[in-house]
Structure 1
């Protein structure tokens, strides 16, 4: 009997669920899972998760937090609680994101990462099952470098080009998440086209370039393709270290029965990138970002989007628990 594209893909690549939907994770049973503020906000809106919201709020209140700090602490606790629930369903790691508002503050990112890990530890979860997710700004990468030096593993997200990937490699981070779909979206708008052939898809090509660069130079940082728009994009990266895939696309892959071929391998990694041979410093990194309009725009818009999602969750929690009325009572 022909096996599904999803089962074939699992032979080539580690599958990660890009979701905080506990039912979906239980259905597809990935090795790892990733979350972000948008996914946490979506999960928090589900009626079946109200008990998790209440537990997070009660804990923050019990810890003595008041007013704005109460709701911010609730969000951090809620984020970790979803991570804990996810870890009950999977064998691997969960990525938990630092507040995107800290993306340009190295020290604050380090402090927040350790706060999140402390929360996990209070629930009996050790740091080896957590990836701290940080935006791939220069400041974020330097925070990850410091955290990695202390044995805290990081996932650098909102990554749109080889310059960011190189800086992450210089920092010896555990994992990077290059965004396939957002790159495609940007180029479709910039070039005023409806689509690209999969072999010319800018997002797919970007991940392939990073993959070959890492493998050619024996860089140990894992590559996890993310932000997919179609299963064609997913399958075009079969063989990548990891792929984090939304439940809707996992369902499509489960119903697709095409033959999945190994698209990426170490043996193909014979490209040369001499201009990135030297370690990047802050000046050279930021110059490369500034000269890459796509990367610069998508990095900032991604950060802004995650900040907005957290703000939406803030408003939702205030409404759910009548926070303002309680503060002024």
Structure 2
């Protein structure tokens, strides 16, 4: 077996892309999207029909209100891509909630409800086949807590710290996405180094710590490593619950034939001496404040997704005028 096949035997592999061809080629269990990926995909000619459908839908639902038209267009586009992906993957798709709502619990819940309705119109049971991606702010975690109680499952994203991970697990989040590569990016810049061996990679160490803590204390929240910069990071996390991997790195794994060794083991984690901790709002905010990397990368990630959301909105408006 190649390395990708070996990895699939111990870890659920998720495609980190909005490109249907790549998803079909590598046959992952699940797929995850975000505004940046949708922006890239929406500009490809093969997906013109999905954009046309979303723009037409936005005009119909939004009436004469341009802002409402844009929101309905964006939500429909996310659901259209999600529905197409679900024709390919046997599991679930992660659909992102607008990152500009990251500090508004009620608005996040309302947007998730809207997406649920659109998925239902498309004949898809969102509770069974969709994860709602929400930034791991305190407000986002509280929104996820309420949605989970209603049977709507969440992927807490833009996660860079242990405190974020623990708060998500205590809230009953279905899945978290620690961003391995972005953690590495910060440390390389801050420490002025070219890189780290995989076993010392700060992103790898962060996910390993979270995985072992969750397994030791019986949390059911799935740990899904994300945002990889190289396959060495992926190999160092073999055995993690899920790993979401971009097509280029999936191709590298598929071309690699060397044996792959499990690195993370839930049974071994049960034997570790790891004290249990908990975070209320004040403790959570203080812990985040005390970790410059997590504070900076969370804020930067929200800004980046918001910027790409605005670009995608403008793209759909321009598309509608040109159509």
Bin for the TM-score computed over the shorter chain: over 0.9
Take 1:102 and 1:272, find their aligned partners in 2: how far apart are those partners? 38
Take 1:90 and 1:223, find their aligned partners in 2: how far apart are those partners? 19
**1:59 and 2:54 correspond:** no
Q: Which moved more, 1:309-318 or 1:61-70?
A: 61-70
Equivalent position of 2:13 in the other structure: 15
Query: Could you tell me whether the CA contact under 8 Å between 1:213 and 1:272 is conserved in 2?
Result: no
Take 2:51 and 2:171, find their aligned partners in 1: how far apart are those partners? 36
Take 2:310 and 2:62, find their aligned partners in 1: how far apart are those partners? 22
> Helix, strand or coil for the counterpart of 2:155?
strand
How far off is 1:314 after superposition?
1.3
* Structure 1 gap segments, 5+ residues each: none
How far off is 1:273 after superposition?
4.1
How far off is 1:191 after superposition?
0.4
Equivalent position of 1:5 in the other structure: 3
How far off is 1:72 after superposition?
2.1
Length-normalised TM-score, structure 1: 0.95
Length-normalised TM-score, structure 2: 0.97
> Helix, strand or coil for the counterpart of 1:238?
coil
> Helix, strand or coil for the counterpart of 2:107?
helix
Take 1:206 and 1:32, find their aligned partners in 2: how far apart are those partners? 23
CA offsets, 1:281-327, max 9 Å, x none? Answer: 1111001000100000000000000000001111111221128xx9x
> Helix, strand or coil for the counterpart of 1:176?
strand
Equivalent position of 2:183 in the other structure: 183
RMSD, aligned α-carbons: 1.2
How far off is 1:272 after superposition?
3.8
How far off is 1:271 after superposition?
3.7
Take 1:97 and 1:272, find their aligned partners in 2: how far apart are those partners? 36
Query: Could you tell me whether the CA contact under 8 Å between 2:216 and 2:274 is conserved in 1?
Result: no
Equivalent position of 1:164 in the other structure: 164
Equivalent position of 2:231 in the other structure: 231
**1:39 and 2:43 correspond:** no
Take 1:184 and 1:232, find their aligned partners in 2: how far apart are those partners? 12
Query: Could you tell me whether the CA contact under 8 Å between 2:131 and 2:153 is conserved in 1?
Result: yes
How far off is 1:39 after superposition?
0.6
Equivalent position of 1:120 in the other structure: 119
Equivalent position of 2:72 in the other structure: 73
How far off is 1:29 after superposition?
1.3
Take 2:274 and 2:264, find their aligned partners in 1: how far apart are those partners? 18
Q: Which moved more, 1:223-232 or 1:263-272?
A: 263-272
Equivalent position of 2:304 in the other structure: 305
Equivalent position of 1:207 in the other structure: 207
Equivalent position of 2:222 in the other structure: 222
How far off is 1:61 after superposition?
1.2
Equivalent position of 1:98 in the other structure: 97
Take 2:23 and 2:312, find their aligned partners in 1: how far apart are those partners? 22
Take 2:141 and 2:182, find their aligned partners in 1: how far apart are those partners? 21
> Helix, strand or coil for the counterpart of 1:63?
helix
Take 2:143 and 2:320, find their aligned partners in 1: how far apart are those partners? 34
**1:27 and 2:17 correspond:** no
Query: Could you tell me whether the CA contact under 8 Å between 1:141 and 1:156 is conserved in 2?
Result: yes
Equivalent position of 2:290 in the other structure: 291
**1:107 and 2:106 correspond:** yes
* Structure 2 gap segments, 5+ residues each: none
Take 2:62 and 2:297, find their aligned partners in 1: how far apart are those partners? 38
